[in-house]
């Protein structure tokens, strides 16, 4: 990929895009108060906010000036980020000289990406999809290719990139049945936008068929499977750190139940179950890892309201080996893991895992993260974000999917009392992940041959 300037061309005029570029700023302005409130609440959004308008600090600009045109990868949030990082590793094995610009939308994904990505690669916030911003960013980044993870269809980004000769690829593409119904109403937009893209690597045949109906050229579609199955094993140091922390809380063996990426309401469900379970299973430790750590005060209030002994990880770090000390609470029943980037370590140390955003919210979180470490997994009925993967897990009996909070409690108690059943489910989960590996290499072949 040669080191040459990128001349950003304006795409062809169309009344549809004029309408989009008239309405989008109005919608963005209306959403700005909510966005500013989120920035204040979560904290991380305020940092580097100018990047969303294509303005970069000198030290970031210096990284962007490195030789060679990079591959720009856009990953909205944490789930897409995992796919992007796996794709980057696979692409670099084939093309060792590649460098990447990785953009994210959320502060959580951005913080994790900063921890994992090193120069010459660069992590930025995704720019606002306005013509003058996109022109500035494309001119500044000079991408050799643009890779969009899963279901990213930003009209101005795609149109200006394609008009400027930058190939645009979708990887790990998915269009759920629910999303498809909405996109069908916008087919007058998608049938003009999708033909501008160079390739589509889709998770399933159904995803490919739905995208083709929305206007993607069939000869550019490939069914590659889900890149989420190519998730690398949990780093040994992450698993060791989680186990060391749990051993510090209670040196004796305990049954560890992890509620991962939980959303409002799900912590209450798990805490209510724990209150009922503790008299018969006093050695149970519930580890709550909220999807958004800034909800710590809300989750703490729920724990305290039930009178459960707890430890909050952000205020009780593990003492260094040369300065040992006891935990702040002897034999806690709950650990609130309100830190960022440690979920997979706690998954690896768990005996049972509940994957959140699946009971009180729609969508679900990634079940492959605990599955890769052979953890027995429980999920609620709402796994709409993972339709193909959910079907795989259900067919392989690689998890236990429950319809409601009462059934979740029953299943948790059953696995406490029958740990062999739990371990067998975990073994099936790990075997399923291993059998579906390899999609990322196919995506690299289809997008960056």
Q: Which two tokens stand for residue 428?
A: 């099936």
Across residues 315-323, what is the average pLDDT? 88
Nearest C-alpha neighbor of 172 from the set 139, 199, 143, 135: 199
Beta strand pairing status for 334-336 and 310-312?
Answer: parallel
Across residues 331-359, what is the average pLDDT? 95
pLDDT surpasses 70 at 43: no
Asked if residues 367 and 345 have their Cβ atoms less than 8 Å apart, the reply is no
How do residues 293-312 score in pLDDT, each as one tens digit? 889 999 999 999 999 999 99
pLDDT surpasses 50 at 2: no
CATH number of the domain enclosing 41:
3.40.50.11720
What separation in angstroms does the CA of 175 have from each of 60, 186, 211, 225, 246?
34, 14, 7, 13, 40
* Residue 1 binned pLDDT confidence (cut-offs 50, 70, 90): very low
- Determine, yes or no, domain membership for 192: no
Predicted local distance difference test score (pLDDT) of residue 106? 87
Same domain as 428, residue 307:
yes
Long-range contacts of 298-306 (CB under 8 A, 24+ apart): 298/264, 299/267, 299/336, 299/338, 300/336, 302/267, 302/268, 302/271, 303/267, 303/271, 303/334, 303/336, 306/271, 306/272, 306/275
Query: Peptide bond before 252: cis, by omega within 30 degrees of 0?
Result: no
Same domain as 296, residue 418:
yes
| 37 vs 265, more confident | 265
What is residue 340's three-state secondary structure?
Answer: coil
| Dist. CA 65–CA 68, nearest whole Å | 9
The number of helix segments (H) and strand segments (E) in the chain equals 18, 14
Nearest C-alpha neighbor of 224 from the set 449, 448, 446, 429: 446
* Residue 241 binned pLDDT confidence (cut-offs 50, 70, 90): very high
DSSP string covering 195-235: GG-SEEEESSHHHHHHHHHHT--GGGEEE---GGGGPPPPP
Question: Domain boundary residue among 173, 191, 226?
Answer: 173
Beta strand pairing status for 310-312 and 199-202?
Answer: unpaired
| 135 vs 23, more confident | 135
- Determine, yes or no, domain membership for 351: yes
What is residue 274's three-state secondary structure?
Answer: helix
Number of domains in the chain: 2
Predicted local distance difference test score (pLDDT) of residue 262? 97
How do residues 372-412 score in pLDDT, each as one tens digit? 999 999 999 999 888 889 999 999 999 999 999 999 999 99
Q: CA 239, 242, 247, 250: dihedral to nearest 10 degrees?
A: -140
pLDDT surpasses 90 at 108: no
Tokens 């040459």 belong to residue = 4
Asked if residues 195 and 174 have their Cβ atoms less than 8 Å apart, the reply is no
Same domain as 133, residue 52:
yes
Same domain as 164, residue 248:
no
Same domain as 28, residue 144:
yes
- Establish whether 267 is a catalytic residue: no
Domain of residue 245, residue span:
236-435
- Determine, yes or no, domain membership for 10: no
Across residues 114-120, what is the average pLDDT? 92
Across residues 254-264, what is the average pLDDT? 95
What separation in angstroms does the CA of 157 have from each of 165, 177, 351, 394?
12, 25, 44, 37
Same domain as 418, residue 304:
yes
Annotated catalytic residue, options 80, 152, 266, 369: 80
Predicted local distance difference test score (pLDDT) of residue 41? 63
- Burial environment of residue 18 by CB neighbours within 10 A (0 to 12, 13 to 18, 19 or more): exposed
- Determine, yes or no, domain membership for 336: yes
Same domain as 244, residue 119:
no
Predicted local distance difference test score (pLDDT) of residue 54? 94
- Determine, yes or no, domain membership for 368: yes
How do residues 83-97 score in pLDDT, each as one tens digit? 999 999 999 999 999
Same domain as 293, residue 422:
yes
Lowest mean pLDDT among 46-50, 124-128, 179-183, 287-291: 46-50
| Dist. CA 351–CA 243, nearest whole Å | 12
Asked if residues 344 and 234 have their Cβ atoms less than 8 Å apart, the reply is yes
Hey, which residues does 352 pair with through a beta bridge? 257
Mean per-residue pLDDT over the chain, rounded = 92
What separation in angstroms does the CA of 250 have from each of 5, 244, 284, 311, 358?
59, 10, 11, 11, 30
Across residues 353-367, what is the average pLDDT? 92
Question: Domain boundary residue among 152, 173, 194?
Answer: 173
What is residue 434's three-state secondary structure?
Answer: helix
Lowest mean pLDDT among 12-21, 157-166, 252-261, 338-347: 12-21
Same domain as 312, residue 416:
yes
Same domain as 305, residue 166:
no
User: What is the radius of gyration, based on Cα positions, of the chain?
Assistant: 23
CATH number of the domain enclosing 286:
3.40.50.2000
* Residue 145 binned pLDDT confidence (cut-offs 50, 70, 90): very high
Starting at the earlier edge strand, list the strands of the sheet with 71-74. 122-125, 100-104, 71-74, 145-149, 168-173, 199-202, 221-223
Same domain as 393, residue 255:
yes
Same domain as 41, residue 113:
yes
Q: Which two tokens stand for residue 104?
A: 């994210």
Helix axes 419-435, 387-395, angle to 10 degrees: 130
Across residues 306-321, what is the average pLDDT? 93
| 304 vs 41, more confident | 304
63 CB-near residues (< 8 Å, 6+ apart): 119, 120, 122
- Determine, yes or no, domain membership for 179: no
Predicted local distance difference test score (pLDDT) of residue 283? 93
- Determine, yes or no, domain membership for 141: yes
- Determine, yes or no, domain membership for 206: no
Hey, which residues does 284 pair with through a beta bridge? 255
Helix axes 107-116, 78-94, angle to 10 degrees: 30
Question: Domain boundary residue among 156, 173, 190?
Answer: 173
């Amino acid at each position: 990929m040669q080191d040459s300037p990128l001349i950003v061309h304006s795409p062809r005029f169309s009344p549809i895009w004029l309408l989009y570029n008239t309405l989008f700023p109005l919608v963005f302005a209306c959403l700005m108060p909510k966005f500013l409130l989120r920035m204040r609440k979560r904290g991380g959004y305020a940092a580097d906010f100018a990047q969303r308008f294509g303005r970069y600090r000198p030290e970031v600009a210096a990284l962007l000036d490195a030789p060679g045109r990079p591959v720009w990868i856009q990953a909205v949030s944490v789930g897409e980020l995992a796919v992007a990082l796996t794709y980057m590793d696979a692409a670099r094995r084939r093309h060792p000289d590649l460098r990447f610009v990785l953009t994210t939308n959320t502060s959580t994904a951005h913080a994790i990406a900063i921890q994992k990505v090193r120069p010459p690669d660069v992590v930025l916030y995704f720019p606002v999809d306005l013509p003058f911003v996109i022109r500035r960013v494309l001119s500044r980044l000079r991408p050799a290719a643009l890779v969009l993870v899963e279901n990213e269809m930003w009209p101005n980004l795609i149109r200006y990139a394609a008009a400027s000769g930058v190939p645009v690829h979708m990887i790990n593409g998915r269009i759920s049945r629910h999303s498809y119904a909405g996109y069908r109403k916008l087919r007058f937009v998608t049938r003009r936008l999708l033909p501008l893209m160079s390739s589509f690597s889709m998770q399933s045949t159904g995803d490919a068929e739905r995208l083709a109906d929305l206007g993607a050229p069939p000869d550019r579609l490939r069914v590659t499977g889900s890149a989420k199955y190519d998730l690398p094993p949990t780093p040994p140091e992450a698993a060791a750190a989680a186990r060391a922390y749990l051993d510090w809380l209670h040196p004796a063996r305990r049954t560890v139940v992890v509620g991962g990426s939980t959303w409002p309401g799900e912590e209450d469900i798990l805490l209510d179950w724990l209150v009922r379970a503790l008299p018969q299973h006093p050695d149970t430790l519930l580890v709550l890892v909220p999807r958004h750590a800034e909800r710590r005060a809300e989750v703490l209030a729920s724990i305290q309201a039930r009178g459960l002994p707890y430890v909050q990880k952000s205020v009780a770090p593990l003492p260094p080996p040369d300065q040992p000390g006891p935990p702040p609470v002897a034999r806690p029943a709950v650990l609130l893991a309100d830190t960022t980037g440690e979920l997979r370590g706690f998954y690896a140390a768990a005996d049972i895992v509940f994957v959140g955003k699946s009971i009180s919210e729609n969508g679900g979180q990634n079940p492959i993260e605990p599955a890769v470490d052979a953890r027995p997994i429980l999920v609620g009925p709402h796994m709409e974000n993972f339709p193909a993967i959910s079907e795989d897990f259900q067919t392989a009996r690689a998890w236990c999917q429950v319809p409601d909070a009462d059934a979740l409690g029953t299943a948790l108690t059953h696995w406490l009392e029958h740990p062999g059943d739990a371990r067998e489910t975990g073994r099936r989960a790990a075997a399923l992940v291993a059998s579906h590996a390899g999609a990322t290499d196919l995506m690299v072949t289809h997008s960056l041959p």
